[in-house]
Amino acid sequence: MDKIKYILFIAFIFVSCSEPVSIENKVTMLVTTNVRGQLDPCGWKANPLGGLPRRYTYIDQVKESGIDPILLDAGDALFENYYLLKEKLPSAKLRAKTVLESTAKMGDYFYNVGQYDFAAGYNFIKQLENSNDIKFLSSNLYIKDTNELAFIDHQIIQRDGVTIGIFGVITDIPQMVKEEVDIKDAITIAKNKINELRPQVDILVMLLNASKPQAAYKAISDFDAVDYVFSSRETSRTRPERTQEEGKPLQYCMGIQGKYIGRVDISLADKSKPITDVTSRMMTVTLFEDRLNSLQKKDPGKPLEEIYKNNRSVLNMVEKFKSGVSESKSDMQGASNKSYYSLIPLSGNVHSEKKILDIVDQVLKTCEELDKQNSIKT
C-alpha cells in the first residue's frame, strides 16, 4: 500500500467513520515478533527486508507525525534459536546486546520473554535489562529459589486518556535455565492476569510466546476479555485482509527476523464497548471503489448503469461493488471503537538511520571476526 492510500485509510477510520459528536481517543501500537538477533536486512537478495536502522527510521517517522506509539515485541528477539554452538556464543551475545541497545534508542520498548531469549542464560537477560532502558515482561516465570517473579509481570500505561494493560506469557523454557527459573502454566496464569487487569484498563494486550500446536496458542480464542494477542515463536505473518473473529481477541504475528512491523491504529469513542477490527472492511471499500472509478473512466459524465446498460455482466459487477462498499461502510459506521491493522515491510523504501547503521555495520564485522577466531580454536 502506498503512503497516500495509507493516510486515507487512517483518516477514514479516525474521522469519517466516527459519529460527529463523539470524542475519540487514539492509540497506536507498533509490534515486532521473532526478530532472533537479526540486525540487518535479510531475505530475498533483490529486496531484503528489515534491519534495525530501517526500524529506527520508521518509528521516528511515526513519532514525527505526532503519534506516541506503544512499542512491543512478542518475544524471541535476541537469538536465532534457544541453543547455541559454543563457538557462536560470543558473536550471538553481541548481536543480542546490539538489538536491545538499538531499540532502547527508539523509545520505551516492552519485550515479552521468549524461549529463544534464554540461549545465553537467565543472568544474561537480566544483565541486558539492567543496562538498558528496556522492560522484559513475563507473568509466568519465577525464580526457583525464592518463588519471586523473574521479570515484571505486567505493565499499565497511558496514551491519550486511554489505559492500556500489557502482560506476557511463555509456554517453554530451555532445560539449561530450569535450575534457576520455574515456569508456571501459561493458560492458568493468563486467565489470572486477565481477571486482575481487565477491570483496570481500557485495552488489554497479551504477548504470547507459543507455537500453534500448543494448548496455550489454541486457547487464545477462549481469552475473550483480551483485546489483542501478539504471538512469537509462531512464524507466520498475519495479513491485513484476514478477517478476525467477532467477539474474540484480535490475533497477530509479524513473521520472523524483523522484516515487518505490525501497526495497529485504534480509535475509541466508547470505552465500554468492544473494539471492532475494520481492516478487511476498509480494504473492501478501497478495492471496490477503485474498480468503480476505473469503470467510470469510460464516460465520467454518465451513471455506470447507463454506460453499461447493454452489458449485463458488467452491471452485475457494478451492483456487487456498490453493495460491498455500502455494507462495509455501514458496518464501520456502526462500530464505536475501531482497529486498523497494517503490516509494514521494512524495504529499501525506508531509509536506514545513519547512526544505527554505523553501529550495525561495525558489530557485524566484529561478529565475523569473533566467529573466525572461535572456529580456529575449536
Least confident of 22-26, 160-164, 189-193: 22-26
307 and 203 within one domain: no
As a whole-number percent, the residues of the chain with pLDDT over 90 amount to 83
Structural domains of the chain, count: 2
The answer to whether the beta carbons of residues 160 and 202 sit under 8 Å apart is: no
- The predicted-structure confidence for 287-321, as pLDDT tens digits, reads as follows 999 999 999 999 999 999 999 999 999 999 999 99
321 and 364 within one domain: no
Cβ partners under 8 Å of residue 352, min gap 6:
51, 53, 54, 57
- Indicate the pLDDT class of residue 8, thresholds 50, 70 and 90: very low
Angstrom distances, CA of residue 293 to CA of 131, 286, 297, 304: 56, 10, 7, 10
CA distance 42 to 52: 11
The answer to whether the beta carbons of residues 35 and 323 sit under 8 Å apart is: no
Q: What is the dihedral of CA 270, 271, 272, 273, to 10 degrees?
A: 70
What is the torsional sign of CA 14, 17, 20, 21? negative
pLDDT computed for residue 378 by the predictor: 61
367 and 327 within one domain: no
Per DSSP, 220 falls in state G
Burial of 180 (0-12, 13-18, 19+ CB in 10 A): middle
| φ/ψ of residue 191, rounded to 5 | -65, -40
- The predicted-structure confidence for 39-55, as pLDDT tens digits, reads as follows 999 999 899 999 999 99
> 376: number of CA atoms within 13 Å, CB side?
5
- The predicted-structure confidence for 55-96, as pLDDT tens digits, reads as follows 999 999 999 999 999 999 999 999 999 999 999 999 999 999
290 and 190 within one domain: no
Which CATH number is 181's domain given? 3.60.21.10
The answer to whether the beta carbons of residues 74 and 31 sit under 8 Å apart is: yes
148 and 58 within one domain: yes
- The predicted-structure confidence for 351-371, as pLDDT tens digits, reads as follows 999 999 999 999 999 999 999
> 37: number of CA atoms within 13 Å, CB side?
24
- The predicted-structure confidence for 104-119, as pLDDT tens digits, reads as follows 999 999 999 999 999 9
Does 148 score more than 80 pLDDT?
yes
- The predicted-structure confidence for 254-278, as pLDDT tens digits, reads as follows 999 999 999 999 999 999 999 999 9
List residues bridging with 341 in a β-sheet.
Answer: 264
CA distance 360 to 54: 11
Spell out the SS3 assignment of 165-194: EEEEEECCCCHHHCCCEEECCHHHHHHHHH
272 and 285 within one domain: no
Task: Average the pLDDT over 224-232 and give the result.
Answer: 95
For residue 115, which amino acid is it?
A: Q
Least confident of 132-136, 201-205, 263-267, 343-347: 132-136
pLDDT computed for residue 246 by the predictor: 84
272 and 193 within one domain: yes
Task: Compute the mean pLDDT over every residue in the chain, rounded to the nearest whole number.
Answer: 92
232 and 129 within one domain: yes
86 and 191 within one domain: yes
CA distance 246 to 233: 25
Instruction: Look at residue 72 and give its three-state secondary structure.
Output: strand
**Cell output for 32:** 515486532
CA distance 130 to 113: 15
271 and 295 within one domain: no
Owning domain of residue 344: 3-278+336-377
The answer to whether the beta carbons of residues 32 and 55 sit under 8 Å apart is: yes
255 and 358 within one domain: yes
157 and 171 within one domain: yes
